[in-house]
Structure 1
Amino acid sequence: MSIDMGAIKAVRKEADCLFTKAEIDAAIKKIATEITNDLADKNPIVFCVMNGGLIFAGQLLPLLDFPLEISYLHATRYKKETTGGELFWKAKPEVSFIDRDIIIIDDILDEGNTLAAIIQYCQHAGANAVYTTVLLDKEHDRKAIPGFSANYTGLTCPDRFVFGFGMDYKGYWRNAPGIFAVKGL
């Protein structure tokens, strides 16, 4: 499959910047303060949801100045597409959840199917409690569970297709230094 790199570059050039790096940094600091206040004495295991949560986790974790364990999991519904499908586990966690508090770090809460499935997995694996944090929560009425939200949210965005700071457009632009909305999507 050949990728039209000109088209990929054009998407970034034409995109609307929704949040700058400075705005994202401020949101991450706010989340870190909230998590520290609530969970510093819980001995949590922190899971980064790959690949989207990687950049957010890399910025958040150094701000959590208390003992914790770090791991990752990889579950996706997008597989480089612009619409979600069935949940696909690329890598399940390999640590014990029994009687542990869990923090899940993900990039975005869109419909919530992926995050809800991860929470359920952790609960069934014996977690004491599961907390979630997302950099971005998308505003719309299509949440998988009415009223579903993350415990800690950085920013709220309109119902548009976004990329940057961990979120991708067809596998690209996770590295964009802000959060951008694709023109027309």
Structure 2
Amino acid sequence: MSADLAHIRQVMQEADCLYDEAQVEAAIDRLAASITADLAERNPVVFCVMNGGLILTGKLATRLNFPLEMSYLHATRYRNETTGGELFWKAKPEVSFIDRDVLIVDDIFDEGHTLKAIIDFCRHAGAREVHTAVLIDKTHDRKVKGLEATYVGLPCIDRYIFGYGMDYKGYWRNAPGIYAVKGL
């Protein structure tokens, strides 16, 4: 079933811009500098969490000027909905990371259930150390206890957001900034 494109366009027209493109790009520069300082000599495997982490991973990778391997994994709780459900693995990593540092790159650290499951998977599969980089860290008290992202681009209020990899019902991952849906 095709989305109502008029509704999808209206969501963008009415959305509040929380961070513009320049602010997001500056945050990615800061992420890259911190990651480089910590991991340049560690021979990391960088995993993009699809689909949300695609834009951040692509932009971040070109700023990481050191040897690394890249791959992807696909685990979701949303399936184009606006609320999360049970974790569903669409694709597990195919690169070995036994005794390697792993950097998981994702769009957002919301409650952390998906991120925690991915971290646990990597640890059980033999990763030496697991690091996480997220563009957005939502500010609220519903997070998985004790879980924090290693590298955070920007903090964000607790609203339904899209852009730079995050979607609204499968759309607007390509939005050039971080936007909040009106009323959500």
TM-score, normalization by structure 2: 0.99
How many Å separate the matches in 2 of 1:149 and 1:23? 22
How many Å separate the matches in 2 of 1:170 and 1:26? 27
> The residue matched to 2:62 in structure 1 has which SS?
helix
Q: What is aligned with 1:12?
A: 12
Give 1:2 shift.
Answer: 3.6
Superposed counterparts of 1:11-50, under 5 Å: 11-50=11-50
> The residue matched to 1:63 in structure 2 has which SS?
coil
Q: What is aligned with 1:84?
A: 84
Give 1:147 shift.
Answer: 3.9
Q: What is aligned with 1:58?
A: 58
CA displacement 1:70-103 (0-9 Å, x = unmatched)? 0000000000000000000000001112101000
Q: What is aligned with 1:137?
A: 137
State the one-letter code of the partner of 1:111: E
Identity of aligned residues (%): 67
Structure 1 consecutive aligned stretches of length 4 or more whose deviation exceeds 3 Å: none
Q: What is aligned with 1:181?
A: 180
State the one-letter code of the partner of 1:169: Y
How many Å separate the matches in 2 of 1:72 and 1:134? 15
Give 1:30 shift.
Answer: 0.4
Give 1:4 shift.
Answer: 1.1
State the one-letter code of the partner of 1:160: R
* Paired residue total: 184
> Which residues of structure 2 form unaligned runs of 5+?
none
How many Å separate the matches in 2 of 1:161 and 1:179? 10
CA displacement 1:17-42 (0-9 Å, x = unmatched)? 00000000110000100010011000
How many Å separate the matches in 1 of 2:164 and 2:94? 26
CA displacement 1:113-171 (0-9 Å, x = unmatched)? 00000000000000000000000000000002x24210000000000000001000000
Give 1:46 shift.
Answer: 0.2
How many Å separate the matches in 1 of 2:60 and 2:93? 20
How many Å separate the matches in 1 of 2:147 and 2:126? 21
How many Å separate the matches in 1 of 2:4 and 2:128? 47
Q: Which moved more, 1:94-103 or 1:167-176?
A: 94-103
Q: CA RMSD in A?
A: 0.6
Q: What is aligned with 1:104?
A: 104
How many Å separate the matches in 2 of 1:3 and 1:104? 31
State the one-letter code of the partner of 2:183: G
How many Å separate the matches in 2 of 1:10 and 1:78? 22
Q: What is aligned with 2:170?
A: 171
Q: What is aligned with 1:150?
A: 149
